[in-house]
Amino acid sequence: MASPTPHQPWTDPQAVPLIRFEGVSKRFGDFVAVEKVDLSIFRGEFFSLLGASGCGKTTLLRMLAGFETPSNGKIFIDGVEMTGIPPYERPVNMMFQSYALFPHMTVAQNVGFGLKQDGLPKARIADKVKAVLDLVQMGKFATRKPHQLSGGQRQRVALARCLAKEPKVLLLDEPLAALDKKLREQTQLELVNIQNRVGITFVMVTHDQGEAMTMSSRIGVMNTGLIQQVGTPVDIYEYPGSRFVADFIGAANMFEGSVTVDSPDHVTTTCPELEHDLTIAHGDSVPVGSPVTVMVRPEKMAVSRDKPAEGLNWAKGVISDIAYLGDVSTYHVRLASGRKVQVLQTNLRHTDEQPLTWDDPVYLGWHPANALVLTR
C-alpha cells in the first residue's frame, strides 16, 4: 500500500476536507449511475475509487472534473462549490487512460502546452517543463515525439503535463491500464513516490484491486452507483463492512450460519456446511439467532494431514485442485458437504518431504482471531 504518513486527516474530526461530495447523484434518463454519494477527500491524499465496470466510479470522477453535471447534490473543492464552474476553471487536471498526447509536438512542447495557453513567459515555461520532466525522469527525452517513446514513457509525459500546472487535485482515470504487468507494478510505486514529493491530492479510478491496495491512502469501494465502504487498504481488506466488499477485495471463504453464543470475548456460530461450530474473536455485538456470514481469508488458513490443535477452528475435506504459482500454492479443498474452500500456502522450500497432492484427505485450521462475522 502507499507509504504510511504520521498524519491521517480523516481520523481528525477537526480536519477540513479538500473535496466534498454532498448527496451527489447522476442519472442518464432512467439509469442511475451514481446515487446519493457523500464523500470527503483530504489534502495530500492518494484516494482511489475502486469498482467493476459500470459501478459509477468514472462518472463520479467526471463530475469532479466538470465534464458531467450532477443531477442532484453539490461538489466542493477547497471550500468552493463547483456548480456552474467549467472544467478549465476548476483547480484540477485530469490524466486520461489514452494519455492524449499531441503527436506533432515534442515531449517538452506537450508538457508546456497548458502553461503556454495560460500565457506564462517562455523562460518560466522552460523552467517548469524541465523541473517536472526531471521529476518523472524524462528530462533526456525532451526533444522526442510521442511515437518515439514506449508506453511507460508516454505515461510519464502525460503525468508531467498534468503536474506542470500545479493543480490542487490530479484526477487519474485508469492511468496504468495500457502498461504490461511488470511495468505497471513498477510504475505504481513510482506514482506514489511522486505524489508524496509534490504533495498534490490524487484521485484515481481503477478496477484493479491490487493497484488500489498498493497506491492508495484510502479506497472508496463502489457498486451499482453506491459507495459501499471507505477505508485504508488494511481496513478494507482485514475488516470489510459487507459480504460484497469482502468478496470483491481479494479472495475470501464465506460460511453461512447463525449466532448461537454472543459473549464479551467471542461469538459462536453454527454453520450447516461444517462439522462443528465456529468461534470468532469478538468484533461488534451480534444478537443470538442472527443470520451471519463468517469470512476467512485463504492465507489465514492452514492445511495439513493432522487435525489442528485444540482451540482452533477446523474443517475436514479432500484436496480437489492445486494451483502452483511458484511462491505460493492454492489448495482447493472439497468438504463433506460438497462445498469447496481455498487455502493459500507459501512455498518455503524447493521440495517438500511430504507434499500434499490431489485426493489427499486433509484438515483445515484457523485461529478465531482470523475470522470475521459479516451481518450484511
C-beta of residue 119 within 8 angstroms of C-beta of residue 128: no
Predicted pLDDT at 352: 55
The angle, 0 to 180 degrees and rounded to 10, between the axes of the packed helices 151-164 and 122-135 is 130
Give per-residue pLDDT as tens, 292-344: 999 999 999 999 999 988 889 999 999 999 998 888 899 999 998 999 999 99
C-alpha cell at 262: 454472543
Q: Per-residue confidence at 82, pLDDT binned at 50, 70, 90?
A: very high
In whole angstroms, give the CA distance from residue 16 to residue 21.
13
C-beta of residue 358 within 8 angstroms of C-beta of residue 368: no
Beta partners for residue 232, in sequence order: none
Phi-psi category of residue 137: left, alpha or beta, with phi > 0 → left and psi -120 to 50 → alpha:
left
C-beta of residue 172 within 8 angstroms of C-beta of residue 204: yes
In whole angstroms, give the CA distance from residue 103 to residue 48.
30
Compare 375 and 350 and report the one with higher pLDDT: 375
Q: What backbone torsions phi and psi does residue 191 show, to the nearest 5 degrees?
A: -65, -40
Q: What backbone torsions phi and psi does residue 158 show, to the nearest 5 degrees?
A: -60, -40
3-class secondary-structure state, position 109:
helix
Q: What backbone torsions phi and psi does residue 64 show, to the nearest 5 degrees?
A: -65, -35
Predicted pLDDT at 46: 95
Does residue 275 surpass a pLDDT of 90?
Answer: no
Residues 6+ apart with CB under 8 A from 5: 44, 217
Give per-residue pLDDT as tens, 23-67: 999 999 999 999 999 999 999 999 999 999 999 999 999 999 999
Hey, what's the torsion of the CAs at 96, 100, 106, 108, to 10 degrees?
Answer: -30
Does residue 284 surpass a pLDDT of 50?
Answer: yes
Domains of the chain: 9-91+167-246 (3.40.50.300), 251-374 (2.40.50.100)
102: closest CA among 142, 147, 135? 147
In whole angstroms, give the CA distance from residue 104 to residue 91.
28
Predicted pLDDT at 354: 58
pTM given for the model: 0.88
How distant, in Å, are the alpha carbons of 18, 124, 127, 264 from that of 168? 9, 20, 20, 47
In eight-state DSSP terms, residue 268 is E
3-class secondary-structure state, position 290:
coil
Hey, what's the torsion of the CAs at 205, 211, 212, 215, to 10 degrees?
Answer: -110
83-107 mean pLDDT: 88
Percent of the chain with pLDDT over 70: 96
Q: Per-residue confidence at 258, pLDDT binned at 50, 70, 90?
A: very high
Give per-residue pLDDT as tens, 128-186: 899 989 888 888 999 999 999 888 888 889 888 888 888 999 999 888 776 777 777 88
Question: Number of C-alpha atoms within 13 angstroms, CB side, residue 249?
Answer: 32
In eight-state DSSP terms, residue 16 is P
Give per-residue pLDDT as tens, 351-360: 655 588 899 9
47: closest CA among 12, 26, 17? 17
In eight-state DSSP terms, residue 360 is -
Q: Per-residue confidence at 3, pLDDT binned at 50, 70, 90?
A: very low
CA of residue 245 relative to chain centroid, distance: 11
Residues 6+ apart with CB under 8 A from 246: 240, 252, 254, 293, 295, 372, 374
Q: What is the mean pLDDT of the chain?
A: 90
C-beta of residue 362 within 8 angstroms of C-beta of residue 319: yes
The angle, 0 to 180 degrees and rounded to 10, between the axes of the packed helices 181-198 and 122-135 is 130
C-beta of residue 259 within 8 angstroms of C-beta of residue 293: no
